[in-house]
Structure 1
Amino acid sequence: MMKLDGIHTFVAVAEAGSLSAAARRLNLSKSVVSERLVELERVLGTVLVHRTTRNLSLTEDGTAFLERASRIAREVAEAAADMAERRGTLSGPLRISAPVTFGRMHLGPALYPFVRQHPRIELTLDLDDRRVDVAADGYDAVVRHGEVGDTRLVAWPMAASRRVLVAAPAYLAQHGTPASITELEQHAGIVYTNRGAADWRFVGARGASIVRGRPGLRVNNGDMMRDAAIAGVGIALLPTFIVGEAIRSGALVSVDVGIEAAPESIYMAHPEGRRASAKLRALADCLRHAFGTPPYWDAS
């Protein structure tokens, strides 16, 4: 008889790309994952996965079985969520990805009351600044800052976000304060590598402008960008949820070049075609309430 845990395990292996990664996702040992996969193959009478010491790939039968297996696993999870919702209880696993700095500074404090309120939810939060593949990496949703780049995602706005140019007073005293886009291009920039060359995008009365200045430092983390700006490395374009406190303390000052950075937002996104669970909707409501309108980091 085919077991649901075998189907769930096969889907996790296919999505994660390895037994080890699937084991971490399922919170099981690698040996248990392997045993479940072998048992499923025995019941089906076919090999679903090619295994070598370094690689893992689906067979032709595995590829054919994956589509229906994924649908079965998803529908079972949705059915369980529906039953829990009918009982007025939110329970089961919920896996979210979020950026490191926003997660540490704002998402974590907003999540802790939610976790206490719903002790039967098994929440996993992965903090990672890279753009993960929500469906392939097995996430229920991602929390992100910026624009929605993946058209396969359904995005829910959580809060508005502003980005401002900032620099240390000592840097501006030494190098001067730019007052225009043209002058800004002559300064050392602290650039967020996960966004690429077009990150410094501004919008004014004449439309959009992209600044490609001289990179003084390229880094993939907002905390380090802020700290580099405070250290006088150059000018950074950062959201106020990262630099608000540094501006209020005087460690950084905002730089006005006569044009605003393109507006962005904090959003939660889940895969298109997958019905959002009751616990995911409850989490989204919790975050909106915690962040506020306008968000508390801009309220002052």
Structure 2
Amino acid sequence: MKLDSIATFVMVVQSGSLSEAARRLRISRSVVSERLVDLEKELGTSLIQRTTRKVTVTENGTAFLSRAIRILREVEEATADLAERRGSLSGPLRISAPATFGRMHLGPALFPFLVHHPEIQLTLDLNDRRVDAAADGFDAVIRHGPIPDSFLVAWQLATSRRILVASPTYLAQHGTPTSLSELEGHKGIFYTHRGQADWRFARQGETKVVHGQPGLVLNNGDMMREAAIAGLGITLLPVFIISSAIRSGELQMIDVGIEPEREFIYIAHPDGQNPSTKLRALAAWLKDAFGSPPYWETELDAFLDFGDQTVQGNADVLVKPELPR
């Protein structure tokens, strides 16, 4: 049984067609078809039903798929392990991360890591949807929120403070709430993937839930910030998204006398899966790059403490800690 044939089968399933698998593997469609035929002959069963428009995985193909992915991963990890024993980090690394955080902060921290370790082949999927790390083939997921109690082992990368904000225009028209009861009557801009249109606060171990009036529900932090700047309502967002908008005056902070629930930036890998040396190295690198507390929070705190002198009139510049070497 050839590894090329197994890899081709997995790629066909993941891409959804023989033509797309051929494009991604940079081989001809006829070679993809030949490899599938060879694998099916070797296994003595049909793995895929082919039509002119799509491929459908058979029951036996579904049963073989998870093992095929595991076989390929084991080979990749074995190769990478030998490289690590020689003192270098190499091989594939598949990570899922949130879109807004990835664009604003993860990318700038990741790129020097990849320059420092050029033999690592990183696949980064920026998506806010919930993913099953093991089933979707990710070595780890980077997420923002409460650290979940799940079948994942989570390592904290940074704290993440969230702040209620709205535009000066909205607050001038509708008033500034100073308590949870006043907040309840305001229009809210909410995040889709949190499941409910509410704001959650914590006091002495107890969660306080406030249901605002849903004015807009979105699945992207950038657009939530822009909607708040446009005056569409109040939103609760992490500092890493809204720091520059607060410093520029486009958004104003709202104090209702209670802190939002605590959240974190964390990286998590499936329980029972031994994390690779390169994944541990990446986690350590990111933790150092973000800082403790993270640079996006210390910069905002400095601005709030010392005013405009801190940023010298440039609200888009963040003073980041030196990246690890």
TM-score by length of structure 2 reads: 0.84
Letter of the structure 1 residue corresponding to residue 250 of structure 2:
A
CA distance 1:135–1:10, shift in 2 (3 Å): farther
Cα-to-partner distance string for 1:126-145 (whole Å, 9 max, x where unaligned): 21122223223222221110
**1:163 and 2:162 matched:** yes
CA distance 1:218–1:61, shift in 2 (3 Å): closer
Number of the residue aligned with 1:80: 79
Number of the residue aligned with 1:256: 255
Number of the residue aligned with 1:185: 184
Q: Using the TM superposition, give the Cα deviation of residue 68 of structure 1 relative to its aligned residue in structure 2, in angstroms.
A: 3.6
Residues in 2 aligned to 1:35 and 1:89: alpha-carbon distance in whole angstroms: 36
Mapped contact 2:98–2:128 kept (Cα < 8 A): yes
Number of the residue aligned with 2:237: 238
Letter of the structure 2 residue corresponding to residue 163 of structure 1:
R
TM-score by length of structure 1 reads: 0.90
Please show how residues 17-166 of structure 1 align to structure 2 within 5 Å. Answer: 18-19=16-17, 23=21, 27-28=25-26, 31=29, 32-53=31-52, 56-149=55-148, 151-166=150-165
Q: Using the TM superposition, give the Cα deviation of residue 72 of structure 1 relative to its aligned residue in structure 2, in angstroms.
A: 2.2
Q: Return 5+ residue gaps in structure 1 as ranges.
A: none
Mapped contact 2:197–2:214 kept (Cα < 8 A): no
Residues in 2 aligned to 1:30 and 1:151: alpha-carbon distance in whole angstroms: 42
What SS is found at the alignment partner of 1:108?
Answer: helix
Q: Using the TM superposition, give the Cα deviation of residue 189 of structure 1 relative to its aligned residue in structure 2, in angstroms.
A: 0.4
What SS is found at the alignment partner of 1:5?
Answer: helix
Residues in 2 aligned to 1:283 and 1:47: alpha-carbon distance in whole angstroms: 40
Q: Using the TM superposition, give the Cα deviation of residue 271 of structure 1 relative to its aligned residue in structure 2, in angstroms.
A: 2.1
Letter of the structure 2 residue corresponding to residue 18 of structure 1:
G
Task: Name the % identity.
Answer: 64
Mapped contact 1:9–1:22 kept (Cα < 8 A): no
CA distance 1:182–1:21, shift in 2 (3 Å): farther
Equivalent pairs counted in the alignment come to: 298
Mapped contact 1:159–1:295 kept (Cα < 8 A): yes
Letter of the structure 2 residue corresponding to residue 23 of structure 1:
A
Q: Return 5+ residue gaps in structure 2 as ranges.
A: 300-325
Letter of the structure 2 residue corresponding to residue 140 of structure 1:
D
Residues in 2 aligned to 1:68 and 1:137: alpha-carbon distance in whole angstroms: 13
Query: Which shows bigger deviation, 135-144 or 111-120?
Result: 135-144
Cα-to-partner distance string for 1:224-251 (whole Å, 9 max, x where unaligned): 1111111111101000000111112221
Q: For the aligned residues, what is the CA RMSD?
A: 2.4
Q: Using the TM superposition, give the Cα deviation of residue 24 of structure 1 relative to its aligned residue in structure 2, in angstroms.
A: 8.7
Higher relative contact order (Cα pairs below 8 Å, separated by 6+ residues): 1
Mapped contact 2:22–2:32 kept (Cα < 8 A): no
Query: Which shows bigger deviation, 109-118 or 71-80?
Result: 71-80
**1:224 and 2:223 matched:** yes
Number of the residue aligned with 1:276: 275
